[in-house]
Structure 1
Amino acid sequence: MSDRTILVWFRNDLRLHDNEILLEATRKADRILPVYVFDPHYFTATPNGGHKTGNIRAKFLIESVADLRNNLRAVGSELLIAHGDPAVILPKLAEQYHVNEVYHHREVALEETNISEQVEAALWKIKLNLKHFIGHTLYHKEDLPFPIKDIPDSFNAFKKKVERDSDVRPSLPLPEHFNTPEITDAGELPTLEQLGLTEPVSDVRATYSFKGGETTALQQLDTFFAAKKASAGGKADRNAAGARISPWLALGCISPRQVYWEVVKHEQATKEHPLMLELLWRDYFRFMFKKYSHKFFDPNGFRADAPEMAADQDELFDQWRSGHTGVPFVDATMHELCATGFISNASRQTVAAYLVKEMKVDWTRGAQWFEEKLIDYSPASNWGNWAYIAGVGNDPRENRYFNPRSAAELDPKGEYVKTWLPDAERISA
């Protein structure tokens, strides 16, 4: 190691703990240059009049980047924040700070991999290497009991083989030192207005709130187990708390391995734990994206043709996204989504099934709407799940059909509908 500088390009890995690119960079270089780039591509307008990233998710992202900066400053480092095309910005920063190599975590979805390829090509022009790491899954790709091309299309088969034949690697330690070059201009966090968005309004009906960042993510994990202990492991509470760790997982404010090892530490049985199932579904869809790539964004998916579609697509889609379908549970769910950026997994399945199977609207429109609105959006989980519900994704024989007109299980007393749709008349199944 001789006067070597490595640029660490943060994307969806906004944490210090269990972060391989950060740990490896501090071990291999004299100095590290941590960088986050706000790419305007992710804040563009969409054909439906919305934004690729909605204001609730954007606020969570800004909070997460701010927390990463604060945590780096606490250990004597700094986060350089830039705005623009990463393929333009990163080579300029590399030349300015005499960088020898750039590290980043590999992504799997089409847009994200295209951005990586553009950055890699731009860096190659100045004779620099973009080194890829794998750090978004519970099970490392190299530890799977099958090559990517042979991954089972069935989630149940994937789960059984992985749990039987693979092990989860230990979490990585925090780097021992952070030596950062003198940064002339560390940049500023953007405001929502600068991103073309408005400040979200807090809704008094929400029973939870999300604040971005690794600091809150670790607190949330502690809260999960404290609540579980206090309630003697009440299943409903555990499922709800587990699902609400997903926003921090989506931005990598906490890693799947950290969650896994906390479960192991606190629980005797882990295989059917709600958090374990959530992590396995995340892994499953990410690996499916490695296997099938762009097919997840095609209305036909993996099948011969797309589901049947009604003639009045625009009108029906507007009814669904605005919560005016006439089905109270569906409408209440859509109101909660727009107000908070979060709905339960069962609710997601319900409103997706209703859009595709009852209203016969193009499922990709629903996936795009969720992309804008969900605070825990991640490409693989979102698009993979929508293709699955539409019957054009992985093993449609496993696709459960949720009857959105019957809220007997999800809202047995009607309290949810009363909260989010107080003036609605209930429609029985």
Structure 2
Amino acid sequence: KECEKKVSVKNTLSIGALPLDNLVENTTSIPHITDLGFNAFQVHENSAFPFKGGENNALARIENYFFETQNVSQYKQTRNGLIGADYSSKLSAWLANGSVSAKTIYWNVKKYEENVEVNEDTYWLIFELIWRDYFKYISMKFGNKIFQLHGILDQKYEWKFNQKALQQWILGQTNEPFVNANMKELAQTGFMSNRGRQNVASYWAKEWKQDWRVAASYFESLLIDYDVHSNYGNWLYNAGVGNDPRDRKFNIRKQAEMYDENGAYQRLWHNN
């Protein structure tokens, strides 16, 4: 809160077209995924992130989520959702690969607040951008400690590692249906909600007490919005060796009852 009071956000830069004599013709064709030896794929019909990459698509998403649907006005209320494209902004992937900047999103929130409304929900999206920056500063401050077992706190828990447990967790074959549904969504789409990430992390690190770094690296291998700072910052946090020194442990079944009350999300992914 103190930082928010004292810090101002710089304006985005506007870059105009360069003169034509600066143009260098490029006839290089961009290879298709199959040209690179990979199989073609289709976006899963139940994906919560049915979008494409690039700045134009990022800006189109901002326009839609903010100004066309005004969903940002309910952001805090819906951000713990599980199904569909619009329970959250879904801007994380474009932020992660540099297609859009946090400043661009911030100033669009301010534009929305000026022309539509200001409420707790619009602030909360800015708050999440601040968290994202905070994890970057944690990485700068602690360096490689964010990858070490005892984390930035040097908190020594008794961690284990079992290959069978890892496969059960990855394949969604644990004794918690809510965990299983989230892991199946990740495997089939490369995306998982924030609520899901916290629950599967708590289950792995606090229920099974397995080495959190193994799970963090699995997330790294699949998430389409993977960002080293956010991924490892959140895993440190959930494992109890990061910014929150409390030894948190989620009640998975209670979480499922709160956020998937009628079981629609679990049925969606258990049937796939």
TM range (shorter): 0.7 to 0.9
2:104 to 258, 263, 267: 258
Query: How many pairs were matched up?
Result: 261
Aligned-residue offset at 1:422: 3.4
Per the alignment, residue 365 of structure 1 pairs with 214
Q: Distance in 2 between matches of 1:231 and 1:300?
A: 37
Q: Distance in 1 between matches of 2:106 and 2:72?
A: 21
CA deviation vs aligned residue, 1:27-80 (integer Å, no higher than 9, x gap)? xxxxxxxxxxxxxxxxxxxxxxxxxxxxxxxxxxxxxxxxxxxxxxxxxxxxxx
Larger Cα Rg: Structure 1 or Structure 2?
A: 1
User: For residues 195-234 of structure 1, what are the structure 2 equivalents within 5 Å?
Assistant: 195=36, 197-226=38-67, 228-229=69-70, 233=74
SS in structure 1 of the partner of residue 253 of structure 2? coil
Aligned-residue offset at 1:254: 1.0
Q: Distance in 2 between matches of 1:348 and 1:259?
A: 23
Which protein has the bigger helix share? 2
Query: Deviation above 6 Å: which 4+ runs of structure 1?
Result: none
Q: Distance in 2 between matches of 1:218 and 1:208?
A: 15
Per the alignment, residue 276 of structure 1 pairs with 126
CA deviation vs aligned residue, 1:175-194 (integer Å, no higher than 9, x gap)? 341664646x6644344345
Across the aligned residues of Structure 1 and Structure 2, the Cα RMSD in angstroms comes to 2.6
Per the alignment, residue 340 of structure 1 pairs with 189
SS in structure 2 of the partner of residue 203 of structure 1? coil
Q: Distance in 2 between matches of 1:196 and 1:363?
A: 32
User: For residues 2-401 of structure 1, what are the structure 2 equivalents within 5 Å?
Assistant: 160-177=1-18, 180=22, 182=24, 187-193=28-34, 195=36, 197-226=38-67, 228-229=69-70, 233=74, 235-237=76-78, 240-267=86-113, 268-269=117-118, 273-310=123-160, 313-397=162-246, 400-401=248-249
Q: Distance in 1 between matches of 2:154 and 2:76?
A: 40
CA deviation vs aligned residue, 1:270-308 (integer Å, no higher than 9, x gap)? 676332122111100011111111111111212335432
- For structure 2, the 5+ residue unaligned runs are 81-85
Aligned-residue offset at 1:326: 2.1
Label 1:194 to 1:365 Cα distance change in 2 as closer, same or farther (>3 A): farther
Q: Is the 8 A contact 1:341 1:374 kept in 2?
A: yes
Aligned-residue offset at 1:231: 9.3
Per the alignment, residue 83 of structure 2 pairs with none
Q: Is the 8 A contact 2:75 2:124 kept in 1?
A: no
Label 1:277 to 1:319 Cα distance change in 2 as closer, same or farther (>3 A): same
**TM-score, length-normalised on structure 1?**
0.56
Q: Which letter maps to 1:296?
A: I
Q: Which letter maps to 2:101?
A: S
Q: Is the 8 A contact 1:309 1:362 kept in 2?
A: yes
Q: Distance in 2 between matches of 1:315 and 1:291?
A: 35
Aligned-residue offset at 1:317: 0.8
Aligned-residue offset at 1:264: 0.8
Per the alignment, residue 126 of structure 1 pairs with none
Label 1:283 to 1:186 Cα distance change in 2 as closer, same or farther (>3 A): farther
Q: Is the 8 A contact 1:303 1:392 kept in 2?
A: yes
**TM-score, length-normalised on structure 2?**
0.85
SS in structure 2 of the partner of residue 405 of structure 1? helix
Q: Distance in 1 between matches of 2:48 and 2:66?
A: 19
Aligned-residue offset at 1:197: 3.7
Aligned-residue offset at 1:379: 0.5
Q: Which letter maps to 1:266?
A: Y
Label 1:221 to 1:410 Cα distance change in 2 as closer, same or farther (>3 A): same
Aligned-residue offset at 1:238: 6.3
Q: Which letter maps to 1:402?
A: F
Label 1:217 to 1:230 Cα distance change in 2 as closer, same or farther (>3 A): closer
SS in structure 2 of the partner of residue 376 of structure 1? coil
1:413 to 224, 247, 262: 262
Q: Which letter maps to 2:107?
A: W
Q: Which letter maps to 2:162?
A: Q
Q: Which letter maps to 1:328?
A: P
Q: Which letter maps to 1:341?
A: G
Q: Is the 8 A contact 2:75 2:87 kept in 1?
A: no
Q: Is the 8 A contact 2:48 2:191 kept in 1?
A: no
- For structure 1, the 5+ residue unaligned runs are 1-159, 424-429
Q: Which letter maps to 1:215?
A: N
SS in structure 2 of the partner of residue 412 of structure 1? coil
Aligned-residue offset at 1:200: 3.3
SS in structure 2 of the partner of residue 171 of structure 1? coil
SS in structure 1 of the partner of residue 259 of structure 2? coil
Q: Distance in 2 between matches of 1:265 and 1:230?
A: 15
CA deviation vs aligned residue, 1:348-407 (integer Å, no higher than 9, x gap)? 01101100011121101111111111110010000111011111112323x653222331
Per the alignment, residue 32 of structure 1 pairs with none
